[in-house]
Structure 1
Amino acid sequence: FFEKMEHLDLLIIDDFGMKKLEGQQQNDFEQIIDDRYHKKSLILSSQLAVSDWYSIFSNEMLAEACLDRIVHKAIRFTLKGDSMRKKY
């Protein structure tokens, strides 16, 4: 799985934080983020504020490792306004 992920130039993770990461999921997520850092592109979308992302992890050390790498080189877009789902 990780070898396949390595070959992707762009990884998109949609709705980050919908569920807490538990046990091995935290380690796997950290490995994915670490493998992509300085090498490949990542788009991460979330409805949570960045300040709430720590609550997704049960392990503070893994949360810090992941979020530091994500936020360090991020270009951040914050969308405002009503949901387009309400319009349609």
Structure 2
Amino acid sequence: MRAGHTFRFAPTSRVLADLAGGHADGSWAHRLRAYTKPDLLILDDFAMREFTPAQGDDLYEIVNERPARSIIVTTNRAPEEWYPLFPNQVVAANPSWTGS
């Protein structure tokens, strides 16, 4: 916490692995809150490889559950290069990703 604000930093691959574990053991909603509750979420190394349908859905849920909270993504790809990495193109086109 810095100046009263909370944040969470994590590599995107670890976030997705953690949420996959939540699907497996029934703790997904609890785990999701860990990524939607902080004032700022920083996803490191975003879009390094293709996402599975479940991973794409999990990312969609993270973004949509944070309407008034910021997300920073670090990536080596331009946002338009993300589309082919998502199995569901509607998820990739979510305007929340680019602030549109």
* TM superposition score normalised by structure 1: 0.71
What is the SS of the residue equivalent to 2:55? Answer: helix
With CA pairs under 8 Å and 6+ residues apart, which has the higher RCO, 1 or 2?
Answer: 1
Match of 1:45 in 2: 74
Instruction: Tell me how far apart the structure 2 counterparts of residues 17 and 7 of structure 1 sit (CA, whole Å).
Output: 22
The residue type equivalent to 1:53 in the other structure is: W
Give the percent of matched residue pairs that are identical in Structure 1 and Structure 2: 29
- What is the RMSD computed on CA atoms of the aligned residues? 1.3
The residue type equivalent to 2:59 in the other structure is: F
The residue type equivalent to 1:14 in the other structure is: D
Match of 2:53 in 1: 23
Tell me, yes or no, if structure 1 residue 56 matches structure 2 residue 85: yes
- Deviations 1:41-79 (CA, angstroms, capped at 9, x unpaired): 1111110112211122011122122xx111125xxxxxx
5+ long unaligned stretches in structure 1: 74-88
Runs of 4+ in 1 over 6 A off after TM superposition: none
Instruction: Tell me how far apart the structure 1 counterparts of residues 73 and 82 of structure 2 sit (CA, whole Å).
Output: 12
Q: Which has the larger radius of gyration?
A: 1
The number of residue pairs the alignment matches comes to 70
Q: Considering fraction of residues, name the structure with more strand.
A: 2
What is the SS of the residue equivalent to 1:12? Answer: strand
What is the SS of the residue equivalent to 2:38? Answer: coil
5+ long unaligned stretches in structure 2: 1-30
Match of 2:42 in 1: 12
